[in-house]
Amino acid sequence: MVKNYEKLFERGKIKNMSLKNRIVMSPMGTFSENHDGFPSGAQIEYYRRRARGGIGMLIIEAQYCTNKTDPWIDYITTADTDQQMKGWSYIIEAIHSEGCKACLQIGCGLGRNAFPFSDAQMVSASEVPSFYFPDKLCRAFTIDEIHDLVGAFGRAAQRAVVAEADAIEIHAHSGYILDQFMTPAWNKRTDEYGGSFENRMRIVKEIYEAMRAAVGPDFPILMRMAADHDFDGGRTLEESIQIVNYMKELGVDAFDIDMGCYEDKQWICPSIYQGDSCMVDYAAKIKEACDVIVLCAGNHSPESAEKALEEGKVDYIMMGRPLIADPDLPNKLLEGRREDIRPCLLCNQICVGRLYENRKIGCAVNTVAVAEQDYTFKKTDSPKKVAVIGGGPGGLEAARVAALQGHHVTLYEKNNVLGGQFNAASAPKFKHRLREFIDWEILQCEKAGVVFKLNTTITPDSPELEDKDRIIAAMGASPFLPNIPGIENAVEVCDAHLHPEKISGQKFVVCGGGISGCDEALELAMDGKDVTIIEMQDQLCPTALLDNRNPLMFRLRDNHVKSMVSTTIKEIRPDGVVAEGPDGEVEVSADCIIAAFGTKPNSEYVDALCEKYPTTLVIGDCVKVGQVAEAVRGGFFAAYSLH
């Protein structure tokens, strides 16, 4: 057994519950349950697989103790029934069968933050605006509804014990319903559930007391809440300390501490821009001030997690998305195989983005996630000679999966390095995980026996293809440079990342406000440069996921990056640009101009290749420019389809 992560693999204890290590899986909604709320086979196997990976405890995604709060969860007809308890028992037994403890997170809904999947009126502590529809007011809970809610929590706790859960957690974070009662920004009530601190805490106090009465004095009860809401008018750290001390005196055994809420949304699923272990310092302040057991999530790497434990900032490390990306993360650390851990990119593309689409979640880099039953690897009885054209993330994933199935795979890359556009995209320090992912793909391909042929351009007439049984084309995309006068005076953004010697000076203009342009602008600004972004659309990164766009915009703001939107580049000169904006023509001087106009598919040979070799599978950006999930998942599916 290795000693590199001694604190992570130290035993722990919450109340009478003993844990084999300090790694806990965060509760993350999968949207994979059946229509009535009963767990599906996919959901059960998803949890079984994470438990098998070696975590100490798994906190099951929020289980709603009622379907009478948010209109969008009225489909959960099993809520507050013994049928729901039976479903919980299936999940919990699957977790226990892998030597892991199971904690059931119990909630009552999102209230004003509910997803806009229904036109029905939202409900909250008070008549406050809905988050997604600010022009629509929520209705306030009645006293009778509050009493019903308290009773539902108590019954849920009792059923959790029957289902053999090891612990339960009160869901009171992110500005959801209980948080809406706790926080003056949303609680404007004048009855016994509003006004003073004690009144605002009354519903949570009554819920805790109902749950404690149901489970007895020795059963662990946790509470999840934010240390700071991080918006003007939200709850501050000082107020959170008051709440934690209050709930501690009532008897709550441990606190699951995170950050933020939906306002200025950036902490619910923190992005790559917040950095590693981004919420741990706030959790540490709660631990220090209140002397309680603290669990904390938020972009942990194994190294930053170990450091947080060593420094005594938290007691348990919570991981959600990293365990979706690689459920075996704990076991691989324990076995000394750090390099074999598939890194989470913190991209939020599938694990969060699909929630906005009312779909079950997945993972951009682990196609099998929440589909463990559907994809199993076994060696084929009829191995084929497979050519993969292109060594970007999609091509590497296709090569890896094909090789794991026993095929003889050769990957051809026209450049002298593998990685495709990830080589440039991973250049900023805050995007080091992209580099780690490419390194992981290369290593796994090598272990699986993939043969790499670098500096090799493949066309439909290349002799290398003549003896191949199957071809997967993953030629990727190339930078798009529009026909703007003086475009030759600009440095293309990928070139700027890969060859920093090509850029110099103090004052920069970045032409193009998509993700690549904004990342380059942020990197330059973090190095102390004066940066202006010019974008023809009316906002920067208009199609980016809110959970990613917000933190990026905040980082740009904090690093004093200027922007000009609804502005078109008319000419690029050696000393600046001429642009047309809402107020007419403007000249912006610069020492260096970066061209970040996006990319175009490398589709030159695709049609001819498919015509000559009809079984060719075409994936990734050479079909349509997309994000990492389209490339990686496309590569997985193409290779998995080989029989």
Q: Tens digit of pLDDT for each residue in 111-162?
A: 999 987 778 899 999 999 999 899 999 999 999 999 999 999 999 999 999 9
Q: What number is the average pLDDT over the span 321-338?
A: 98
Q: What number is the average pLDDT over the span 518-526?
A: 97
| Cα distance between residue 456 and residue 452, in whole Å | 10
Which band of pLDDT confidence, cut at 50, 70 and 90, is reported for residue 1? low
pLDDT digits (tens, 9 = 90+) for 550-581: 999 999 999 999 999 999 999 999 999 999 99
Residue 321, pLDDT above cutoff 80: yes
Comparing C-alpha atoms, which of 641, 638, 635 is closest to residue 393? 635
With contact defined as beta carbons under 8 Å apart, do 126 and 181 qualify?
no
- Give me the catalytic one of 176, 208, 273, 282: 176
Cα→Cα distances 296→29, 257, 285, Å: 17, 5, 12
**CA 485 to mean position of chain CA atoms:** 41
Least confident window among 67-71, 102-106, 152-156, 301-305: 67-71
In the DSSP assignment, the letter for residue 146 is H
With contact defined as beta carbons under 8 Å apart, do 156 and 162 qualify?
no
Residue 2, pLDDT above cutoff 70: no
| Cα distance between residue 162 and residue 276, in whole Å | 38
| Cα distance between residue 604 and residue 461, in whole Å | 13
Mean pLDDT in the chain?
96
Residue 43, pLDDT above cutoff 80: yes
pLDDT digits (tens, 9 = 90+) for 333-347: 999 999 999 999 999
Which band of pLDDT confidence, cut at 50, 70 and 90, is reported for residue 215? very high
Domains and CATH numbers, the chain: 12-357 (3.20.20.70), 385-412+432-464+601-640 (3.40.50.720), 487-597 (3.50.50.60)
pLDDT of residue 367: 98
pLDDT of residue 254: 98
> What ranges in 488-596 are assigned the alpha helix state H?
493-498, 515-526, 546-558
pTM of the model: 0.96
Spell 591-612 as b/e; 16+ CB within 10 A means b: bbbbbbbbbebbbebbeebbee
| Cα distance between residue 317 and residue 25, in whole Å | 8
Q: What number is the average pLDDT over the span 31-44?
A: 96
| Cα distance between residue 380 and residue 377, in whole Å | 9
User: Residue holding tokens 């904004």?
Assistant: 518
Q: Is the dihedral of CA 239, 200, 148, 74 positive or negative?
A: negative
Residues found in the chain? 643
Residue 434, pLDDT above cutoff 60: yes
Active site residue 176: yes
DSSP letters for 318-383 = EESHHHHH-TTHHHHHHTT-GGGSPPP----TTTTGGGGGT-----SS-TTTT-TTT------SS-
Q: What number is the average pLDDT over the span 209-235?
A: 97
| Cα distance between residue 72 and residue 110, in whole Å | 10
With contact defined as beta carbons under 8 Å apart, do 511 and 490 qualify?
yes
